[in-house]
Amino acid sequence: MIDYISVFIFLFAVIDPIGTVPVFLAVTARHSEREKRKIALIATLAAAGILIFFVVVGEIILTAMNIPLSAFQIAGGIILFLFALSMIFGESKPEQEVKLATNVSETAIFPLAIPSIASPGAMLAAVLLTENAKYSIFEQLQVTGTLLVVLLIALILMLGASRIHRVIGNSGASVISRVMGLILASVATANTLEGIKMYFAL
């Protein structure tokens, strides 16, 4: 049985549904309300497909390349930590990804599905949280279910983006993104230390 709360917080931090709201507003500014709903749904489904792909075959790919999971966990922890630092000290997620929204013809896929929702950090998390040697099939299904819940929250937030933005504004989204970055940095450090421990235990 997984710890639903810690897994949920981890996935919420790397996916950052709240930080997606300003990105969604920026790239759908010229679209009708009906088109916005369609874009939000397509983006969520595409992100779900990408992340579930990493859940199912991520570790298989690593095994085929003869990369021990401990090494991937260390590398993943470092990358997640750097990703978290960029959220804390650098440009926040909304500021970074709004700049990518120059072409609105495929906004559902880019930059919404990738890299806003299915970010590199989320892809790494999908692999780390479903390690075959550490988690049973049932536990991996629980992680996948939690992942889908976070994506559902992202979809709901995008559908209500206009109202949410009026409440929190760009500054509010930036603050929340930085808080999520701090949480993610702590999780990334724990992953790196666990990977080092696993590597030297082999």
Q: Which residue has the tokens 């949920």?
A: 8
CB-facing half-sphere around the CA of 149: CA atoms within 13 A: 14
Q: Of 97, 111, 88, 117, nearest to 176 (Cα)?
A: 88
pLDDT at 72: 76
Cα–Cα distance measured from residue 78 to residue 63, given in angstroms and rounded to the nearest whole number? 20
Report d(CA 90, CA 97) in Å as an integer. Answer: 13
pLDDT at 94: 52
Q: Between the CA atoms of 9, 147, 178 and 42, what dihedral angle is there, to the nearest 10 degrees? A: -160
Residue 93, CA distances (Å) to 20, 59, 126, 135 in order: 8, 28, 20, 31
pLDDT given at position 172: 79
Which structural domain, as residue segments, surrounds residue 47? Answer: 4-201
Q: How many domains does the chain have?
A: 1
What is the pLDDT at residue 98?
53
Q: Are 18 and 173 in contact (CB under 8 A)?
A: yes
Q: What residues of the chain score a pLDDT lower than 50? A: 101-105
**Model's pTM, two decimal places?**
0.75
Q: How many helical (H) and strand (E) elements, i.e. helices and strands, does the chain have?
A: 8, 0
DSSP state of 2: -
pLDDT, position 116: 82
Q: How far is CA 86 from the centre of its chain?
A: 14
Residue 99 tokens read as 């700049």
Give the torsion through C-alpha atoms of 19, 123, 79, 94, to 10 deg.
-20
Q: Is 27 exposed, middle or buried (0-12, 13-18, 19+ CB in 10 A)?
A: buried
Q: What pLDDT sits at residue 102?
A: 45
Give the model confidence (pLDDT) of 3-41 as tens digits: 899 999 999 988 989 878 877 877 787 788 888 899 999
pLDDT at 16: 84
- Residue 118 backbone phi and psi in degrees, to 5: -85, 75
Nearest to 129 by CA among 140, 120, 119, 138: 140
pLDDT of residue 91: 57
Residue 12: predicted pLDDT: 93
90 three-class SS:
coil
